[in-house]
Amino acid sequence: MPRTADHDERRDRIARALLRVVARKGLADTTMVDVAEEAGASVGMVQRYFRSKKDLLRFGVEHLYRRGAERLEGVERRPPFRDLLLRLAETLLPLDEERRTELTVWLEFLPATVTDPDLAGLHRGTTRLLVDGFADAFTIAGQTGAFPTENDPTEEAVALVSLVDGLTIHHLLGSDHFGADRIRTVLCTHIDRLLAPAPGTTGA
């Protein structure tokens, strides 16, 4: 009988190698040979696990989103709501080397997401989950008074996600004014403002 290998482990190893190469060289300059070398494997082996380059890329993106979801799930669900919200949102920012790498790769894949229907679906699904997740959290927080009822949960979720992603992109591109401290402060201010009751409203 034939020999056996841990397929899932191999696929993951290759996917992680892909992400490292893309983070280093950019998606446009990433070749199958690069990925194979980075994974310490041959091109043939990469081909064995991924029928085509497109397959490999799709799996890589899935891996990426999975990692993001894991990180979000790992956040402590401890009140007060304001701090919890801040922890969740900060999780999405490139504030350490690992997230920086992953989000750089995410940025590399964004344009492909416009063209490729599979990637588009993946992106939309993930974004939807994220926005709905925040919106649900806002709705629940509204019942305990931690979120002003005059605000629309979905709108606020859209705003928060957009702000975070905008900050992320500019930070990654190295724009002036978008240093790590600054983007944290901006996020903080935004959250405090959206949780504060509107001026003309009584706090009770």
Residues that bind its own copies (CB under 8 A): 25-29, 104, 107-108, 110-115, 120, 123-124, 127-128, 131, 154-155, 157-159, 161-167, 169-170, 172-178, 182-183, 185-186, 189-190, 193-194, 196-199, 203
| Of residues 143-162, those binding DNA (CB under 7 A) | none
Q: DSSP secondary structure string, 33-53?
A: HHHHHHHTS-HHHHHHH-SSH
d(CA 165, CA 186): 13
4 binds, among DNA, its own copies, none (CB under 5 to 8 A by kind): DNA
172, 104 Cβ separation under 8 angstroms: yes
Please report, as a single letter, which amino acid is at residue 195: L
Torsion of CA 120, 137, 100, 102, to 10 degrees: -40
* Residues 71, 88: Cα–Cα separation, whole Å: 9
Q: Residue 30 binds which one of its own copies, DNA, none, with CB within 5 to 8 A depending on kind?
A: DNA
39: tokens are 């994974």
Q: Which does 139 bind (CB under 5 to 8 A by kind): its own copies, DNA, none?
A: none
The rounded distance, in Å, linking the Cα atoms of 34 and 32 is 5
122 with 112: CB under 8 angstroms?
Answer: no
Q: Which of 12, 20, 24, 32 binds DNA (CB under 7 A)?
A: 32
Minimum distance between the CB of residue 108 and DNA, rounded to whole angstroms?
14
Q: Which is nearer to its own copies, 50 or 104 (CB)?
A: 104
Length of the chain: 204
What letter does residue 28 receive in the DSSP assignment? G
Residue among 15 and 160 whose Cβ is closer to DNA: 15
Please identify, using beta-carbon distances, which residue of 8 and 181 lies nearer to DNA.
8
Min. distance of Cβ 79 from its own copies in angstroms?
A: 21
In the complex, the smallest distance separating the C-beta of residue 51 from its own copies, rounded to whole angstroms, is 20
Q: In this chain, which stretch among 27-35, 58-66, 74-82, 159-167 interacts with DNA, using CB under 7 A?
A: 27-35
